Amino acid sequence: MYKNIDNNSSTTMFEMYSSSDRFLRPDMVDVPAQQAAGSTLPLVLTRKKGGGDDTEDVNYNPFEHRKIEHPTSDVETFVHLLKGSLGSGILAMPMAFLNAGLWFGLVATFLVGAVCTYCVHILVKCAHILCRRRKIPMMGFADVAEQAFLDGPTSLQRWSRFIRFIVNCFLVIDLIGCCCIYLVFVGTNVKQVVDFYTQESELSIRLWIVIVTCPLLFMCLIRNLKFLAPFSMVANLLMFVGIIITFTYIFTDLPSTEGRVGVADVTQWPLFFGTVIFALEGIGVVMSLENDMKNPAHFIGCPSVLNLGMGVVVSLYTLVGFFGYLKYGAETKGSITLNLPVEDKLAQSVKLMIAIAIFFTFTLQFYVPISIIWKGIQHKIAPEKQNMTEYGIRILLVLLCGAIAVALPNLGPFISLIGAVCLSTLGMIVPSIIELAVYYEDPGYGRGKWRLWKNAFLIAFGFIGFFTGTYVSILEFHDEFNGSH
């Protein structure tokens, strides 16, 4: 899920090509420095319109100009896609089915999964088109958004920097939100196990979140991903073993479907939508995976790495959601691990294994937003103050995550809120707007302007999910606070 960025690399695209103001600004290069420096062509900002030799755009193949030290094969990219998408969200899928109903959730999860996958197709396809137009070997998510607006109608071009800012903001908010959810998840699971053995001195969930946050203050001062790699390996192993054992509990003595709600009340659907979007949406890592591929053309299409990977992901999430809700019914909690019998030693080990895995994953998840933030402000800080400033920002960001988690220690609405706010925007609304901008002049919106209507539907669907999911999640938090007073 995370790209191995060499922090010691000091050569940037901007430094190599700063002799002309036609080249992109340094903040427009979202790919790792060593990849950008290995490109055979500069990143050109302007595109000829209304004239010129368009055959150059057609003949330029961005994939041939990518110089990647260790390109990934189709199989490796498939594995990375699974790793990036199969996170803690899978443990929340039974709760999603609780808010949808057994049968509606079954159908709706596949539909939402198909829409998410299609929107990823849109983003990557538009990235390929823009790479050919601009003669750029590769782009990041924010690059694609900005360049698309520059290619769109005049009214959009003035907003090109703004859409870039919006994409980066929502990426940061999404990832910080995930870090907050991780703190709540770890604190809740550890509390459940410890409380079983120390019933006379139960600590509140908020205090447990504070306890979990303290060691992370030191771990998140590690700036090189290479030193975090061992933690990633341990986290992957623990998560895999924990989920396998969880499956054994779910599939033991399954009840009949007759005792479960088939279609939940429509007022609960926004919570379902937000949770599923949070669980499924891996659009933030898509461009990184595609940029690293040996054969990028294999990422989209039919069949493709993306279709196969998302097919497996959606199937697994649906499996866990369906049978998890079937097993625990109305008692289903924000994470399926919280439903495992706390008196069972094996179940206790699962709760702790997955809690440790999520704890280690926090440092990796934290690396991405701090990189985006630091990249945006680094040039404003005096060189002699940069080290201390970066460490200070890292500590403040961890404290912010801890404060948010302490304020909102309820997994269900929290997960739905992040899914509705951030991933509806990044996963549906932004890719649809990007396609409208890219196709505006050439080749157009098609017969009957079908691309316009199709993207209008996706944008509307994304906004409905955004507002309803946010509204219902806030109501849930409001009810929780009122009940606690």
**Cα–Cα distance for residue pair 181/88, rounded to 1 Å:** 9
Highest average pLDDT, of 207-211, 257-261, 410-414, comes from 207-211
Query: Among the listed ranges 41-50, 134-143, 284-293, which one has the minimum average pLDDT value?
Result: 41-50
Is 43 domain-assigned?
no
Tell me the three state secondary structure of residue 44: strand
| Three-class SS state of 72 | strand
- Can you give the pTM of this predicted structure? 0.78
What's the domain range around 352? 71-366+384-482
Phi-psi region of 449 (alpha: psi -120 to 50; beta: other; left: phi over 0): left
- pLDDT for residue 54: 39
Q: Is residue 149 part of a domain?
A: yes
User: Is 165 within a domain?
Assistant: yes
Whether residue 198 lies inside any domain: the answer is: yes
pLDDT tens for 450-469 read: 989 999 999 999 999 899 88
pLDDT at 57: 55
DSSP line for 352-377? HHHHHHHHHHHHHHHHHHHHHHHHHH
Average the pLDDT over 68-74 and give the result. Answer: 79
CA distances from 31 to 63, 124, 292, 432 (A): 14, 15, 10, 23
Mean pLDDT of the chain, nearest integer: 80
pLDDT in tens, 307-353: 898 888 899 899 999 999 999 988 998 889 899 998 899 999 999 99
Find the CATH number of the domain harbouring 115: 1.10.4160
Written as one letter, the residue type at 273 is: F
Which residues have C-beta within 8 Å of that of residue 255, sequence separation ≥ 6? 326, 327, 329
- Asked whether residue 262 is assigned to any structural domain, the reply reads yes
Within a domain: residue 16?
A: no
End-to-end CA distance of the chain: 41
Cβ pair 351, 135 in contact under 8 A = no
Which of 126-149 are b and which e, b meaning 16 or more Cβ less than 10 Å from the residue's Cβ?
A: bbbbbbbbbbbbbbbbbbbbbbbb
Cβ neighbours for 52, distance < 8 A, ≥ 6 positions apart? none
Number of domains in the chain: 1
Q: Which residues of 4-28 are buried (b: 16+ CB within 10 A; e: fewer)?
A: ebeeeeeeebbeebeeeeebbebbb
pLDDT digits (tens, 9 = 90+) for 191-204: 988 888 887 667 88
Residue 103 predicted with pLDDT over 90: yes
Q: What are 57's two structure tokens?
A: 């755009």
Peptide bond into 341 cis (omega under 30): no
CB atoms within 10 A of CB 401: 26
Report d(CA 305, CA 80) in Å as an integer.
Answer: 10
Q: Please enumerate in sequence order all residues whose Cβ is within 8 A of that of 485, keeping only pairs 6 or more positions apart, or say none.
A: none
How far, in Å, CA of 119 to CA of 463, rounded?
15
Identify whether 414 is part of a domain: yes
Residue 302, domain member (yes or no): yes
The upper half-sphere exposure of residue 471, i.e. CA atoms within 13 Å in the direction of its Cβ, equals: 10
Distance from C-alpha of 482 to C-alpha of 480, rounded to nearest angstrom? 5
